[in-house]
Amino acid sequence: MDRLRNSVRPYAWGSATAIPDLLGQEPTGAPQAELWMGAHPGSPSLVDRGDGPRPLTEVIAADPAGELGAAAVAKFGPTLPFLFKVLAAGIPLSMQAHPTLAQARAGFADEERRRIPLDAPERNYKDANHKPELICALDEFEGLCGFRRPAEAADLMASLGVPALDPLIETLRGKPEAEALSSTLATVLTMTGAAADALVADVADAVTAAAAQDPGGAMAGYAFAARNHPGDTGLLAALLLNHVVLRPGEALYLGAGVPHAYLRGTGVELMANSDNVLRCGLTPKHVDVPELLRVVEFRAERPQVLSPGPGPDGERHYPVPIDEFRFSRYTLDAEPRRLDGGAPQILLCTSGAARLTAADGTVLTLARGESAFLPATGTDTELTGPGAEVFRATVTL
């Protein structure tokens, strides 16, 4: 088992205080958006086995079967199939959706063939993998997830009293579900000029006024987005999505094609090992509307908030419909918990102090904000630490 040395991604939307607080560090004043734990080539964690810090990518590449287990290599290939994060949103992230595995492979191959640099602003596919993900709230976490029913989105728009929204309302009320949603999203994302600017400004004023009347309601989230992304037509697209607030310990699973945006809060995020994002607003970055419309699944669906179910030996498991990652949580007491081996896993301590004891007696203590990688050979590891909370990421074999 290895203590991980992790990097922080300083994206502009990040909180200046949440991740430093978790790590017990003084804030620098700069945004700190994501703490990455894993073996993504863009920012792999470091481990030190006595010969100095080495990227986890190199350690796994040197012995995939030993680090990941033969079964995991056979099922997912010789790389860690998940990426674990702490995400801290100070302002809304871009609205976005992620591709299926087939779409990611095709899109990546196409952009490679066209020799678009990986760091080019117009690049959509940074790798050939899909990116299903789960977000679990550490504090109250607010977001947008999945399409509302068209009639509900029409009613929401109508409640704002902005006449220029009437054509969108008519489309939402007059066409079948998929056509209504796709046509409305395409329309708002391709609006330009003075009329579009005026409409966005009017909607921003309307949601701000509505939020003042109901500070705890959904309009507060839209007003927050409008304030932090002034003039962005993504605000109109956001009205098509369900508003959701997660309490600490609650989670959302987001599959391919589901449009979503995280508005504010801190959470633990687990995803397939990918960085593929198709943006659809609330961002100054590139929005590829045709590719986005090809990837998005135009189906109305209410968000399914996940709470963990009881599992063996005190492990509380969050069910997800994929095998690339498995997510669970331990709230520890005096009783030792046994961690099964045979697969790679990363443990993150978010409160208290957790003590890992390997079968050979080696001990590793994780303070709040620290994490560890357990290779597949790490069988019969014990987890203790009364009062500690530990999140576990592994795979399903």
Residues annotated as catalytic are 279
Coil, helix or strand at residue 95 = coil
Which pair of tokens denotes residue 34?
A: 């994501």
Nearest C-alpha neighbor of 34 from the set 82, 92, 89: 89
Nearest C-alpha neighbor of 289 from the set 174, 192, 150: 192
Give the single-character DSSP code of 171. Answer: H
Counting every residue written for the chain, the total comes to: 397
Coil, helix or strand at residue 5 = strand
Quote the distance between the C-alpha of residue 378 and its chain's center. 28
In sequence order, what are the beta bridge partners of 22?
none
The H helix count followed by the E strand count for the chain is: 12, 23
> DSSP letters along 355-378, please?
EEE-TTS-EEEE-TT-EEEE-TT-
In sequence order, what are the beta bridge partners of 113?
none
Contact 157, 239 (CB under 8 A): yes
Burial of 180 (0-12, 13-18, 19+ CB in 10 A): buried
Q: Which helix (H) or strand (E) holds 121?
A: none
Say how far apart CA 272 and CA 105 lie, in whole Å: 14
For 53, 164, 169, the CA distances from 180, given in Å and listed in that order, are 53, 17, 10
Contact 276, 110 (CB under 8 A): no
In sequence order, what are the beta bridge partners of 260?
96, 145
Which pair of tokens denotes residue 262?
A: 């995280």
Which pair of tokens denotes residue 320?
A: 């997800």
